[in-house]
Chain A
Amino acid sequence: MSPLLFVLIAAFGAAIAAPVARFTGQAAGWLLALIPAFLFISLVQLLPEVADGGVVMQVIEWAPAYGVNLGFRLDGFSVLFSMLITGIGTLVVIYAGTYFSGKEAKDRGRFLAFIILFMTAMLGTVMADDLIVLFVFWEMTSLVSFFLIGFKHEDRAARDSALQSLVVTAGGGMALLGGILLLGSVAGTFSLSEITAQAGDIAQSPLFPAIVVLVLIGAFTKSAQFPFHFWLPNAMAAPTPASAYLHSATMVKLGVYLVARFDTGFGNEPIFYVPLIVFGGITMLIASVQAVRSTGFKAVLAYSTVASLATLIVLVGIPGSDAVKATIGFLVAHALYKAALFFAAGGVIHSTHVYELARLGGLRWKMPMTFIASVLAAISMAGLPLFLGYKAKDLLFTASFGADSLAWWATLCALIMSAAMTMVGLLAAFKPFWLKAPYGEVKLYHGESFGMALPPLVLGALGLLFGVAPFLLWGPVMEPAIAALYGAPTAPVDAYVIPHVDARLLLTIGLLAAGLGLVWLWTRMHRDPDSLRPRFMLADFCYNKVMGGVEIAAPKLAKPLQTGTLRSYIGATVGVTVVGVAFALIGFEGAMIEAALIEPIRPYAVLILIFVLMGVAVAAFARSVLITIIGVGIVGYGMALLFLINGAPDVAFTQFTVETLFLVILVAVLLRIPLGSALHRPLKKRPRSAIAAIGFGAATTLSILAMNALNFDPRLSEYFGEVSYAEAHGRNVVNVILVDFRALDTLGEIAVVAFATLAVWALLRRRTPEKEAGQ
């Protein structure tokens, strides 16, 4: 299957999700899960093709004039990422179908459509080779994330969080676009593989530091790295299936994906990797502290996700093949156990309606499957032997010890992060299920359902399976990804099952003890109800200050320009036109009058002119605005007649219809808006309007006379006249230009019309009479 086909099938799934959900009811999740499952199996079949550094390329010309192509490229790393996206996607769709089983089919359909649309965007991002294509899909993930976080749109907090995530990630997206454009101008191509191939030359460019800064801002905002880490915990306002999928397993890893892709080429440039290690480390520390401070079940998990993303960023930053191995190992291990924990958390919250981890307890016999899944995932997260998480942690410390520079910093952060991870894992697995509920027994609204318990069980069990049978994972899936990312073959990862009895085992025991200590600290901190109220968050505070400042500053800037009186807008337009024309005509040397007099005076034109002048007189001297409008209409019809007899039937016809519709719409506006006295404007108030009108008329007349006096260059019209029928099968040159030669321009124009229509529809909503009277 070609990469584009993957994206198209996913897009098809998003399109049919809502109708399928409407007609199949509760089974919708299971049915729609077939689409990501099919994509996952297709990816497994692709594995042999990418095994030994193989690459599947697909390039379709998109805008060749700008060097932009629909370029897709599948190598070991993209296949691994795509398998995570579709594999976890399958489980998320099943889970979400059950999660929304109590809601209306409309809500369920909307949610499933967004989830599958998101999967489409993710697949597009990780399969793209052309950076412009990558950017388009990247922004699409931000947009879908916005809709999913704000899914409960009646809830103000959800809306605010959605907006915050959009401001941060889309703002970072703008920086990324800047970086991509600079990179394209330096490299002469937008193809990621070609850029990687000539990375050495690009790094010598004086623009390289700017490129790095912009790309890193893009990656850091997406992956919630310091100082942009605050949006991710707030994004937990999204329904849990979205949190598990977007804000833990896949989307937030795009930042890691991007820097990892660049790392293949630029990994040895200090200006690129030092910020990764430094900022990633800071984020690891902040997130670890915040995980201990947090009370909400999902908030604790969210901070542990931020810490894990930071770990991945640091690992990408550390040069060498050890770090690449650790990146891939940690990436997969984290995706499996974190998604499982989110699923389990969502199940518990769904059944109990309790959001704070501190309130939960004693659920082990009431939700046994969820409990087992959480324990499996938590052990992997704590990095205990026999689980995939152990191997990942092992690789992490091998890489951070062995780093050439900043090894002490990376190791220190990794130690603190691992202790905090152990705490989060233990808390998530034992606090809701094993420990006693501190504020009385937790009420259960319903028991666990199969559709919501199965996905975490599958993921938790995979963590164990890949731990005891590493050959299933490392050889076929991970090694190709490592090779693709490192850019060269590496020695295979030592996939032992029984841990070596050495310092590493000692480290594991030490971290487990530290984690247990933190669990004790956490339960102490969150024992009294006071601890449950929201805490002060510095980053959030700064964000709110900045956004508040924008809201205050924007109207101050806009008010002087946007006065709200139509007269001043028209005055400005007319003034600029008159001054502009006058400026252009200074020193004009053509013979205006002579050129105009060459044409004979035609009687019918004179008749039409008299007709137009009558309209002008009506417009200028009528007392009522309504009659003025009719006068202007007469002028318009007269102009249209002139166009008609001068061989421009298209323009004439358009003018006729526009004049008519204009009249119909204006009358409606006048009937609806209570203008009162403004409808009748006495003549003595009009001298300024007269000056403006005469000035505008003079400027237009002069410019037409000037154009007439110039030599007409017929090249364009001759060209279109010749090729219109030969190449585009049309004799109406105007229309052929609109729909064929300049079709992209027309597409842009109708897009503007369509979006303006959306705004018009919303703005012209009829208000209640009381409000209207108050305006």
Chain B
Amino acid sequence: MNSVILHALTRLFFAAMLIFSIFILLRGHNEPGGGFIGGLAGASAYAVVTMAFGAHVAQRWLIIHPVVLCGVGLVCAILSGLPPLMGMGGSFLTHLWWIGEIGGVELHLGTTLLFDIGVYFVVVGGVLSMLFRLYDTGEEEAGW
């Protein structure tokens, strides 16, 4: 769409929405949020770019191909479940936890985070695959 206001605001919105989506992803374990919702928010950020500048620009901003992103997410989720099989005890997808303190704040880090990041990637990749295909004007064919 050729609107100066939309173009100008898009950059702002995009950055804000993407950071917000990552925030939602990370806080998901204790507050409302998580990989699925975060992924949808992240996809929305790119949806704004798609509507403003077109699918090819959004694809460039994504850097990685959306279908590949789906695969990366799936691999992340599977990897997060593997440590127990490597002799750390438990069965597949038994998550491990690391509890420590950084600057006085107690931190609970688990392999669940990697799993959630995987969900995030799959959702972003899945939604954007559909979106990019539908908004593809066919003007550029840069290796699609």
Chains A and B are bound partners: yes
Give CA–CA (A753, B122) in the complex, Å: 7
Per-position binary interface string of chain A over residues 667-711, scored 1 when its CB falls under 8 Å from any chain B CB and 0 otherwise: 011001000000000000000000000000000000000000000
Per-position binary interface string of chain A over residues 592-616, scored 1 when its CB falls under 8 Å from any chain B CB and 0 otherwise: 0000000000000000000000000
How far, in Å, is B123 (CB) from chain A's closest CB?
7
Does A738 sit within 8 A of B, measured CB to CB?
Answer: yes
**A750 surroundings in chain B (CB, below 8 A):** 73-74, 77, 118-119, 122-123
**A458 surroundings in chain B (CB, below 8 A):** none
Residue of A at shortest CB range from B122?
Answer: A750
**B43 surroundings in chain A (CB, below 8 A):** 661
Does B93 sit within 8 A of A, measured CB to CB?
Answer: yes
CB contact between B34 and one of A657, A739, A751, A754 (< 8 Å): that residue? A739
Q: How many residues of chain A are within 8 Å of chain B by beta carbon?
A: 47
With contacts A61-B91, A62-B85, A747-B78 known, is A653 near B97, CB below 8 A?
no
Does A187 sit within 8 A of B, measured CB to CB?
Answer: no
User: How many inter-chain residue pairs (CB < 8 Å) link A and B?
Assistant: 155
**B19 surroundings in chain A (CB, below 8 A):** none
Give CA–CA (A624, B39) in the complex, Å: 32
Q: Would you call B135 and A668 a contact (CB within 8 A)?
A: yes
Does B108 sit within 8 A of A, measured CB to CB?
Answer: yes
Give CA–CA (A60, B33) in the complex, Å: 34
Stretch in A110-118, A405-413, A755-763 with 4+ CB within 8 Å of B? A755-763
Does B67 sit within 8 A of A, measured CB to CB?
Answer: yes
Q: Would you call A760 and B133 a contact (CB within 8 A)?
A: yes
Does A650 sit within 8 A of B, measured CB to CB?
Answer: yes
**B50 surroundings in chain A (CB, below 8 A):** 664
Does A504 sit within 8 A of B, measured CB to CB?
Answer: no
**B33 surroundings in chain A (CB, below 8 A):** 650, 653, 732, 735
Q: Would you call B37 and A657 a contact (CB within 8 A)?
A: yes
How far, in Å, is A749 (CB) from chain B's closest CB?
9
**A654 surroundings in chain B (CB, below 8 A):** 36-37, 40
Q: Which chain B residues in 61-114 approach chain A with CB under 8 Å?
A: 66-67, 70-71, 73-74, 77-78, 81, 84-85, 87, 90-93, 95, 97, 99, 108, 110, 112
Q: Would you call A734 and B34 a contact (CB within 8 A)?
A: yes
Which of A649, A738, A756 has the largest number of chain B CB atoms within 10 A? A738
Per-position binary interface string of chain A over residues 118-151, scored 1 when its CB falls under 8 Å from any chain B CB and 0 otherwise: 0000000000000000000000000000000000
How far, in Å, is A128 (CB) from chain B's closest CB?
15
Q: How many residues of chain B are within 8 Å of chain A by beta carbon?
A: 57
Does A766 sit within 8 A of B, measured CB to CB?
Answer: yes
Q: Which chain B residues in 108-144 approach chain A with CB under 8 Å?
A: 108, 110, 112, 115-116, 118-119, 122-123, 125-127, 129-131, 133-136, 138
Q: Would you call B40 and A661 a contact (CB within 8 A)?
A: yes
Does B51 sit within 8 A of A, measured CB to CB?
Answer: yes
CB contact between B71 and one of A650, A730, A740, A754 (< 8 Å): that residue? A754
Q: Would you call B81 and A732 a contact (CB within 8 A)?
A: no
Does A306 sit within 8 A of B, measured CB to CB?
Answer: no
Q: Would you call A743 and B81 a contact (CB within 8 A)?
A: yes
CB contact between A754 and one of B73, B81, B87 (< 8 Å): that residue? B73
Does A63 sit within 8 A of B, measured CB to CB?
Answer: yes
CB contact between A731 and one of B30, B40, B127 (< 8 Å): that residue? B30
Give CA–CA (A236, B35) in the complex, Å: 47
**B131 surroundings in chain A (CB, below 8 A):** 661, 664-665, 668
How far, in Å, is B25 (CB) from chain A's closest CB?
10
**B93 surroundings in chain A (CB, below 8 A):** 743-744, 747
Does B22 sit within 8 A of A, measured CB to CB?
Answer: no
Q: Which chain A residues in 638-674 approach chain B with CB under 8 Å?
A: 649-650, 653-654, 657-658, 660-661, 664-665, 668-669, 672
With contacts A732-B32, A738-B34 known, is A672 near B92, CB below 8 A?
no
**A740 surroundings in chain B (CB, below 8 A):** 95, 112
Which of A658, A665, A746 has the largest number of chain B CB atoms within 10 A? A746
Does A764 sit within 8 A of B, measured CB to CB?
Answer: yes
Does B59 sit within 8 A of A, measured CB to CB?
Answer: no
Per-position binary interface string of chain B over residues 39-69, scored 1 when its CB falls under 8 Å from any chain A CB and 0 otherwise: 0110110010011000000000000001100
For the complex of A and B, 8 pairs with smallest distance between CB atoms: A764-B133, A668-B134, A657-B40, A730-B29, A735-B34, A649-B32, A754-B70, A731-B30
Residues of A within 8 A of B (CB): 60-65, 70, 649-650, 653-654, 657-658, 660-661, 664-665, 668-669, 672, 728-732, 734-736, 738-740, 743-744, 746-747, 750-751, 753-754, 756-758, 760-761, 764-766
Residues of B within 8 A of A (CB): 24, 28-37, 40-41, 43-44, 47, 50-51, 66-67, 70-71, 73-74, 77-78, 81, 84-85, 87, 90-93, 95, 97, 99, 108, 110, 112, 115-116, 118-119, 122-123, 125-127, 129-131, 133-136, 138
Q: Would you mind naming 29 contact pairs between A and B with Cβ atoms under 8 Å apart?
A: A61-B90, A61-B91, A63-B91, A63-B92, A650-B32, A660-B44, A661-B43, A661-B127, A665-B134, A668-B131, A668-B135, A729-B110, A730-B30, A734-B34, A736-B112, A738-B35, A739-B115, A746-B115, A746-B119, A747-B93, A754-B126, A757-B66, A757-B122, A757-B130, A760-B129, A761-B67, A764-B134, A765-B133, A766-B136
